[in-house]
Chain A
Amino acid sequence: MSAPKRVERPLSPFMIGPYYRPQITSISSIMIRITGLGLIVAIALITALIFAAAVSKPAFDCVNWFATSWLGWLIWIASAWAVWYHLLGGVRHFLYDAGKFMDIPTAEKLGWGMFIGATVLTVITIIIAVV
């Protein structure tokens, strides 16, 4: 009576590409997931840097060598863009959840706004870091 019948439910197909043309609304949405997952690299590096600083000077010098190498700076700058993009994406989720800006022209502008906004905020972050 209580045991529901087990059924193999169909899996939803990956829509972008074979079924849907890429659009700014879908691409800006999937970029939230990519940036969110990618940020684990920066968080691992941040944690490694703090951990090494707490352990010993040789350990810190080792991690800091990587963190300030060209690859390290590339990770920091890419992660700054990713974190700002992901944050703007979150704000867009809050706006959508409130039922705002759901019409297609505005939604498409919001998608472009996230790419432009993240780039502007990254430039500001670099200026804060350098000055």
Chain B
Amino acid sequence: MRYLTPRKRAEGLGAARHGTAHHVAMNVSGWALLFIVPVFVVVLARTIGHGYEHVRDTFANPLVAVLTALFLFVGMRHFARGAQMAIEDYAHGGTRTALVMLANAVSYLTIAAGFYALIKLAL
């Protein structure tokens, strides 16, 4: 008697080793960024080029801080997944694993550095 169904045997054997979860996650974060990014770009366009006090005051504003935190978190997770897609197209074996880990590390470290700065500016 076979305990594993043919479907179970086939799961995870696609080119990407998984199903639609990746695509769904990119769409969900993509929709979120569609609203976050235009507002953040305008805030940034009005801030870059100004001096120390102006930049500190801008990012100490709670609304701007929350917007920036959302941008960094949703944006960098979207980036890591997108980079993973590109890596899986061109790199294989151990290189692929290492590069995917690197993309995720860059993503989380950027989020962490950004959150640290925003919290420090808010206090």
Contact residue among A53, A76, A91, A94 (Cβ-Cβ distance under 8 Å from B55): A53
| Contact B33 A129, beta carbon cutoff 8 Å | no
Q: Give the residues from 76 to 131 in chain A that come closer than 8 angstroms, CB to CB, to chain B.
A: 76, 80, 83-84, 87, 90-91, 93-94, 97, 125-126, 128-129
B112: nearest residue on chain A (CB-CB)? A47
Contact residue among B4, B15, B76, B117 (Cβ-Cβ distance under 8 Å from A50): B117
| Contact A125 B41, beta carbon cutoff 8 Å | yes
B interface majority secondary structure: helix
Interface size bracket, B side:
35 or more
Contact residue among B55, B85, B106 (Cβ-Cβ distance under 8 Å from A40): B106
Chain B residues in the interface with A (C-beta under 8 A): 2, 4, 9, 13, 15, 27, 30-31, 33-34, 37-38, 41-42, 44-46, 48-49, 51-52, 55-56, 59, 68, 72, 75-76, 79, 82-83, 85-86, 89, 92, 106, 110, 113-114, 116-118, 120-121
Measured between alpha carbons, how far is A59 from B59 in the docked complex, in Å? Answer: 16
Q: Give the residues from 43 to 82 in chain A that come closer than 8 angstroms, CB to CB, to chain B.
A: 43-44, 46-47, 49-51, 53-55, 57, 60-61, 64, 67-68, 76, 80
Kindly list chain A residues whose C-beta atoms are within 8 Å of the C-beta of B55. Answer: 49-50, 53, 60, 64
What distance in Å separates the Cβ of A128 from its nearest Cβ neighbour in chain B?
Answer: 5
Contact residue among B45, B59, B76 (Cβ-Cβ distance under 8 Å from A53): B59
Contact residue among A11, A47, A61 (Cβ-Cβ distance under 8 Å from B52): A61
What distance in Å separates the Cβ of A13 from its nearest Cβ neighbour in chain B?
Answer: 11
Known: A1-B2, A2-B4, A40-B106. A87 touches B114 (CB 8 A): no
Kindly list chain B residues whose C-beta atoms are within 8 Å of the C-beta of A17. Answer: none
Number of chain A residues whose Cβ lies closer than 8 Å to a Cβ of chain B: 41
Kindly list chain A residues whose C-beta atoms are within 8 Å of the C-beta of B82. Answer: 33, 36-37
In the complex, whether A18 has a CB less than 8 A from a CB of chain B is no
Measured between alpha carbons, how far is A37 from B76 in the docked complex, in Å? Answer: 11
| Contact B121 A54, beta carbon cutoff 8 Å | yes
| Contact B48 A36, beta carbon cutoff 8 Å | no
A34: nearest residue on chain B (CB-CB)? B86
Known: A47-B72, A50-B114, A50-B117. A37 touches B83 (CB 8 A): yes
A91: nearest residue on chain B (CB-CB)? B34
Measured between alpha carbons, how far is A126 from B46 in the docked complex, in Å? Answer: 10
What distance in Å separates the Cβ of A69 from its nearest Cβ neighbour in chain B?
Answer: 11
